[in-house]
Amino acid sequence: MMGVFKRRRFWVVLACVLLFTPIALYLLLTPFGLWGGNFSSYVQTRRGVIKEVYEDRPPLRAETSETRYLKIQSTSGLVVRIAIRSPRNRDGDSMPLVVLLGGLTRGRSAVELVGHPTDLVFVAVDYPSYGDIRLDGADYPFQMRTLIRSLYDTVPALLLVLDYLDSNAQLPQQTELVGVSLGAPIACAAAAQDQRFSRLWSVHGGADIEAMLNQAGHRVKPEWLRESLSKGLKHLLRHLEPANHVGRVSPRPFVMINGTRDALIPKPCIDKLYQSANFPKEIIWTETGHVQEKKEAVIRQLIEIVVTRISQNQDQLSK
């Protein structure tokens, strides 16, 4: 989740910007209507209405599954790229849908980690792209604006994906939203905005953005600088604070998967997210550290936990 915030140069340049935090906040958030604005209104405005959908790369066909790569454009100008992996030669029964949101670099390629499903449909989503994000150099403030815009726009992007599936009669009653690492807080915000997500999964996530950022930047010295930077970033990302959204997921189920050796998400942050949610809710512990983009085996293991639980639910419903 925090890999993009761990670079030393990032913290140094950010310190210069956030010395003028009120001005920085205004300049970074005002262009998106988020300075003192209503987040729900922002989400609906950016969601817009589907304007165009087309394949942006050839489909990938395997023996038992097919993957399609689509680009969805909204009337608002929002563009989202997705990958849909579904079983081939499936019958007419409506299969559960799993929407995956991972890290910035993983994006829709996360669908490649689910294997070849036989009874589930997977949709992996890219974060909206507004150029190459490099949090260093003299253009740092503009890169920060790009990152913030991408994170915030991912919430309406997820809703736009459901709109597309719904319009094509591909949206089943059981639609699971799985947010992994950086995707976890964004998934919480999206599930609070749209009741069509029937269950929310937070994988290696937590609450209290300031505390999580402070932990991620533990190498930044002195301590007062690290805390000041974390506080400034908390304000920039305040509309994505999971504790403010997850309580609205109920009565839909909320499931957390967290690692006992996670060095990036403090235990109090995990506890706060769980406490902020209403029932039905549960937490599943694994003997792992924080999921990393390059550790595909860990990602596959976490996805397998989700898939197994969904399949068990399906078996119970069919009895």
Domains: count for the chain? 1
User: In this predicted model, which residue has the larger pLDDT, 25 or 86?
Assistant: 86
Asked if 46 and 76 count as a contact pair (C-beta separation under 8 A), the reply is: yes
Give 167's Cβ-side CA count (13 Å radius).
12
The predicted model gives 176-181 an average pLDDT of 97
pTM, rounded to two decimals: 0.89
Q: What pLDDT is attached to residue 4?
A: 46
Asked whether the predicted pLDDT for residue 75 surpasses 50, the reply is: yes
The predicted model gives 229-233 an average pLDDT of 78
Residue 194: CATH number of its domain: 3.40.50.1820
DSSP lists the bridge partners of residue 259 as 286
Question: Which of 7-11, 77-81, 185-189 is predicted with the least confidence, judged by mean pLDDT?
Answer: 7-11
pLDDT digits (tens, 9 = 90+) for 27-66: 565 556 675 678 999 999 999 999 999 999 999 999 899 9
User: In this predicted model, which residue has the larger pLDDT, 224 or 259?
Assistant: 259
C-alpha to C-alpha distances, 315 to 201, 302, 308, nearest whole angstrom: 20, 20, 11
Q: What pLDDT is attached to residue 286?
A: 94
Distance of alpha carbon 84 from alpha carbon 230, whole angstroms = 36
Whole-number average pLDDT of the chain: 85
**DSSP per-residue codes, 4-49:** GG--HHHHHHHHHHHTTHHHHHHHHHGGGT-SS--HHHHHHHHH--
User: Could you list the residue range(s) of the whole structural domain that residue 286 is in?
Assistant: 3-318
Element (H, E) at 187: helix 183-193
Q: How confident is the model at residue 210 (pLDDT cuts 50, 70, 90)?
A: very high
Q: What share of the chain has pLDDT > 90, as a percent?
A: 60
User: In this predicted model, which residue has the larger pLDDT, 231 or 75?
Assistant: 75
Question: Which of 16-20, 108-112, 257-261 is predicted with the least confidence, judged by mean pLDDT?
Answer: 16-20
Of 100, 163, 21, whose CA–CA distance to 303 is shortest?
100
